[in-house]
């Protein structure tokens, strides 16, 4: 089968499509014929080598950890899934390899009828991450939450899932994305200098929690929340030095001491929540762009601009 991988750090051009042996579903797993898979900003940084001291990897490194497709192999002990089912889900964090013709999923849910393959292909990672962080922050009805970097792949999902919990959501993004954020249920503002004052004007009673999907603004985010314990980041590796928790689900041997925190349990229950919300028309998965597997380098290049609105996906 075809799979996207890289064998050295470097620019997007180090990615290549290669032929490898297809994986098989083990106990508690399903294999899917992939229709679409996600491109992870974190993996883009891993590929560049900028995280080599934090997230060491073994080569060859196969990319992709969320995908959608049709079940074609069911492992021992699996119930509720049969060949032919349309699903979306995640690979094991130690395996990855979802940017391929076939992928083995360890967590999955039925593909919502309202989502295209492209929308479903990049959904699972954003849904799990959003659920995990919103749970850690105990976001619920009546809370006010700030999502920093709200127009990206995780940010757009976090905004909608927080709003579905009954929270008031403020989201930061470039001004040209403000109408888009309003359509998702957030009150938008710009990021950068003066952010605490702008947020204070939107939420005079204060902010209960901050979900950081970007990086480089932790001092301002702590000032907005009033306590580093009310801030969780998924992107800023300086978190520990600010007393902020960095949430990740990667195995300890792949993250290094620089992360400053052990992996959090994956919030795979979020996949079922997403299916329910999608069926109610309350969760959509904006797709910034779709590429073929052979165009993985172009997909990584777009991700590196940090201007993609929503998820970047690869189509089979």
Residues 239-251 pLDDT 10s: 999 999 999 887 6
How confident is the model at residue 146, as a pLDDT?
98
Residue 136 pLDDT level (bands cut at 50, 70, 90): very high
Q: In the chain, which segments carry CATH 3.90.180.10? A: 2-122+285-315
pLDDT surpasses 60 at 253: no
The C-alpha atoms of residue 36 and residue 119 are separated, in whole angstroms, by 8
- Across the range 245-261, mean pLDDT stands at 66
CA 283 from centroid of its chain's CA atoms: 15
- Which two three-digit tokens encode residue 124? 């699972």
Measured distance CA(175)–CA(156) in Å, rounded: 15
Core vs surface per residue 144-183: b (16+ CB within 10 A) or e? bbbbbbbbbbbbbbbbbbbbbbebbbbbbbeeebbebbee
Give CA–CA dist 9/31, Å, rounded: 29
Backbone angles phi and psi of 270, in degrees to 5: -65, -25
* Range scoring the smallest mean pLDDT among 150-154, 192-196, 252-256: 252-256
Please say if the pLDDT value at position 259 is more than 70: no
Q: Assess whether pLDDT exceeds 90 at residue 307.
A: no
Q: Which residue has the tokens 């939450």?
A: 145
Strand order in the sheet with 245-246: 186-189, 168-172, 144-148, 209-212, 231-233, 245-246
The CATH classification of domain 127-259, taken from the options 1.10.10.60, 3.40.50.720, 3.40.50.2300, 3.90.180.10: 3.40.50.720
d(CA 181, CA 187): 7
Per-residue pLDDT band for 24 (boundaries 50, 70, 90) equals very high
Question: What is the pLDDT averaged over residues 260-268?
Answer: 85
Q: Span 213-233, mean pLDDT? A: 97
Q: Can you give the pLDDT at residue 252? A: 54
The rounded distance, in Å, linking the Cα atoms of 215 and 148 is 9
Q: What share of the chain is helix, strand, coil (3-state, %, to 5)?
A: 35, 25, 40
What pLDDT does 93 receive? 86
| pLDDT-derived band at 260, boundaries 50, 70, 90 | low
Mean pLDDT of 224-229: 98
| Cα distance between residue 132 and residue 264, in whole Å | 8
Average pLDDT over residues 135-158: 97
Residues of the chain with CATH 3.40.50.720: 127-259
The predicted structure's pLDDT at residue 256: 46
How many Å apart are CA 29 and CA 184, to the nearest integer? 33
What is the three-class DSSP state of 145?
Answer: strand
* Cα 152 to Cα 41: distance, rounded to the nearest angstrom: 10
pTM (two decimals)? 0.95
Contact 230, 253 (CB under 8 A): no
Strand-pair partners of 110: 87
Q: How many residues does the chain have?
A: 316
d(CA 314, CA 18): 15
Query: Which region among 51-55, 92-96, 144-148, 238-242 has the lowest average model confidence (pLDDT)?
Result: 51-55
Across residues 217-225, what is the average pLDDT? 98
Kindly indicate the confidence band of residue 232, based on its pLDDT and cuts at 50, 70 and 90.
very high
Mean pLDDT (the chain) is 95
CATH number at 2-122+285-315: 3.90.180.10
DSSP string, 42-96: HHHHHHHTTTTTTS--PSSEE--SEEEEEEEEE-TT--S--TT-EEEEE--TTT-
Tens-digit pLDDT profile for residues 292-304: 999 999 999 999 9
């Amino acid at each position: 089968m075809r799979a996207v991988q890289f064998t050295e750090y470097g620019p997007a051009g180090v990615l290549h499509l290669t032929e490898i042996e297809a994986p098989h579903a083990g106990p508690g797993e399903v294999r899917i014929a992939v229709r679409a898979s996600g491109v992870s900003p974190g993996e883009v940084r891993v590929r560049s080598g900028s995280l080599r001291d934090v997230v060491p990897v073994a080569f060859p490194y196969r990319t992709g950890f969320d995908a959608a497709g049709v079940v074609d192999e069911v492992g021992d002990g699996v119930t509720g899934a049969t060949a032919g089912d349309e699903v979306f889900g995640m690979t094991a964090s130690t395996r990855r390899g979802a940017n391929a013709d076939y992928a083995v999923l360890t967590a999955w849910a039925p593909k919502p009828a309202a989502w295209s393959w492209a929308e479903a292909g990049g959904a699972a990672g954003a849904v799990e991450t959003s659920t995990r962080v919103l749970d850690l922050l105990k976001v619920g009805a009546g809370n006010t939450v700030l999502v920093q970097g709200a127009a990206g792949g995780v940010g757009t999902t976090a905004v909608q899932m927080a709003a579905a919990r009954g929270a008031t959501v403020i989201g930061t993004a470039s001004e040209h994305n403000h109408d888009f954020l309003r359509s998702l249920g957030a009150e938008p503002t710009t990021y950068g200098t003066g952010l605490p004052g702008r947020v204070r004007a939107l939420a005079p009673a204060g902010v209960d929690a901050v979900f950081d999907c970007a990086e480089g603004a932790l001092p301002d985010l702590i000032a907005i929340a009033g306590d580093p314990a009310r801030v969780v980041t998924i992107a800023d590796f300086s978190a520990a030095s600010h007393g902020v928790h960095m949430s990740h689900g990667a195995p300890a041997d792949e993250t290094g001491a620089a992360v400053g925190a052990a992996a959090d349990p994956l919030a795979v229950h979020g996949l079922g929540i997403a299916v329910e919300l999608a069926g109610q028309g309350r969760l959509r998965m904006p797709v910034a762009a779709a590429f073929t597997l052979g165009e993985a380098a172009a997909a990584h290049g777009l991700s590196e601009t940090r201007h993609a609105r929503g998820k970047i996906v690869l189509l089979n």
